[in-house]
Every structure is written in structure tokens, then in C-alpha cells.
């Protein structure tokens, strides 16, 4: 799913919310799950759709945050740089999520909200 703006997104929860990394869960008006993560490169925030299975794997420390992005993001990715949405071709851009080399539990250690593994049943 390619996002051009965030007006069709409804906030669910902050999965990770630290100074080092942020991962927010939204529901798109179509019912799809969308994640927002902050980036190391390029600077900004990336929005990408995901599915319950891969998000659950991340929350159970089976895959890294960057792997979650790479497994679920479409070929075209929406990045918010300052106040402007830009589209990137993933194969042409080096997109690195902040905290991308970490598992959920590693990011959660410094989580200001003390996030816990979430139940996706509320979103299905």
C-alpha cells in the first residue's frame, strides 16, 4: 500500500517509543495495518504496511526491525521528510530504520512506555 498522506490513518499504539527508535502502529481506513518508524537514512519517517504474522514475529524477537520493514514494505515507499512526503523506490535507495539492527526486546529495554508484546487480536 502506498501512502500519500496520513489523513487515512488511525493511531492504535506506540509499539516502541524511545529517543533511539520509534515504531507506531496505525490502521488504514481500508483495515490494513500500517507502521511508522523513524529513519537513520534518509532522515525522516517511513510509513509501510505490514501484516499480523510478521508484526507478531517482530514482537516475539524472531526478526529484527529492519527485517520487518524489508519483508513488508512495498517497492515504492513513502517517507515524510520534514513536512513533505516523498516516494522512494526501495531498490534505488538505502533506507535504514533507526534501531533496525535490534530485536523488539532490545528496543523495549529503553522504551519509555515499557511496551510489552502486543496482542494483534484487537486489530484482526
Q: Which domain holds residue 22?
A: 9-106
Establish if 68 belongs to a structural domain. Answer: yes
Establish if 4 belongs to a structural domain. Answer: no
Instruction: Report which of 20, 8, 5, 14 is spatially closest to residue 106, judged by C-alpha positions.
Output: 20
Establish if 19 belongs to a structural domain. Answer: yes
Number of domains in the chain: 1
Establish if 98 belongs to a structural domain. Answer: yes
Check if the beta carbon of residue 20 is closer than 8 Å to that of residue 80.
no
Query: Per residue of the chain (124 residues), what is the pLDDT tens digit?
Result: 556 567 789 999 999 998 879 999 999 998 989 999 999 999 999 998 899 999 999 999 999 999 999 997 678 888 889 888 888 888 888 999 999 999 999 998 765 444 444 555 544 4
Establish if 80 belongs to a structural domain. Answer: yes
Per-position DSSP letters for 44-62, written without gaps between them: EEEEEEE-HHHHHHHHTTS
Q: Check: pTM over 0.85? Answer yes or no.
A: no
Establish if 124 belongs to a structural domain. Answer: no
Establish if 99 belongs to a structural domain. Answer: yes
Establish if 122 belongs to a structural domain. Answer: no
Amino acid at each position: 500500500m502506498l501512502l500519500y498522506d496520513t489523513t487515512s490513518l488511525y493511531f492504535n499504539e506506540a509499539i516502541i517509543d524511545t529517543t533511539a527508535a520509534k515504531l507506531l502502529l496505525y490502521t488504514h481506513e481500508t483495515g490494513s495495518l500500517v507502521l511508522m518508524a523513524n529513519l537513520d537514512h534518509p532522515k525522516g519517517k517511513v510509513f509501510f504496511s505490514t501484516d499480523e504474522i510478521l508484526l507478531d514475529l517482530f514482537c516475539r524477537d524472531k526478526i529484527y526491525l529492519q527485517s520487518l520493514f524489508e519483508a513488508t514494505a512495498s517497492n515504492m515507499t513513502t517517507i515524510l521528510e520534514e513536512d513533505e512526503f516523498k516516494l522512494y523506490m526501495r531498490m534505488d535507495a538505502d533506507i535504514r530504520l533507526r534501531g533496525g539492527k535490534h530485536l523488539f526486546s532490545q528496543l523495549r529495554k529503553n522504551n519509555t512506555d515499557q511496551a510489552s508484546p502486543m496482542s494483534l487480536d484487537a486489530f484482526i
